[in-house]
Amino acid sequence: AQSVTQPDIHITVSEGASLELRCNYSYGATPYLFWYVQSPGQGLQLLLKYFSGDTLVQGIKGFEAEFKRSQSSFNLRKPSVHWSDAAEYFCAVAPYSGAGSYQLTFGKGTKLSVIP
């Protein structure tokens, strides 16, 4: 069964500082990997995705993530955080097409607080 671990429950950074949110996954094959963001009172929004090719993927709002197969990781990064980035971030894994399942498995999330 697939699983996702986000080791950090809560991270606080200063505005303008760099950010890295950690994500480790467990899956028997090459997974599809995602980062979603959930702002208060809003629905989950897709930040970026990886399913093949270049292991460094770019997303919206200046975020990027790097897939490292050897470490089973898909960490999210941003070089300079803005106050509006304060939200909860979820890493997720989906089975490859043809697996017969459409379940997206989420981690427990990392809450990001930004100090002005």
Partner 1 sequence: DTGVSQDPRHKITKRGQNVTFRCDPISEHNRLYWYRQTLGQGPEFLTYFQNEAQLEKSRLLSDRFSAERPKGSFSTLEIQRTEQGDSAMYLCASSSLQIITGELFFGEGSRLTVL
Of the ranges 17-25, 39-47, 61-69, 75-83, which one interacts with partner 1 (CB under 8 A)?
A: 39-47
Which amino acid is it at 94?
A: A
> Of the candidates 116, 103, 93, which has an alpha carbon nearest to the alpha carbon of residue 28?
93
Residue 1 interacts with partner 1 (CB under 8 A): yes or no: no
Each residue 55-94 as x (binds partner 1 by CB under 8 A) or -, in order, gives -----------------------------------x-xxx
User: In angstroms, rounded to a whole number, what is the distance separating the alpha carbons of residues 91 and 17?
Assistant: 21
Residue 18 interacts with partner 1 (CB under 8 A): yes or no: no
Among positions 13, 19, 86, 104, the unique one binding partner 1 when judged by CB under 8 A: 104
Among positions 11, 49, 72, 75, the unique one binding partner 1 when judged by CB under 8 A: 49
Residue 101 interacts with partner 1 (CB under 8 A): yes or no: yes
Residue 11 interacts with partner 1 (CB under 8 A): yes or no: no
| Phi, psi angle pair for 96, to nearest 5° | -65, 155
User: In angstroms, rounded to a whole number, what is the distance separating the alpha carbons of residues 9 and 111?
Assistant: 6
Instruction: Detail the DSSP E strand segments found in the chain.
Output: 3-5, 10-14, 19-21, 24-26, 32-38, 45-50, 56-58, 64-68, 73-78, 87-94, 105-106, 110-115
Q: Which residues bind partner 1 (CB under 8 A)?
A: 4, 32, 34, 36, 41-46, 49, 51, 90, 92-97, 101-109
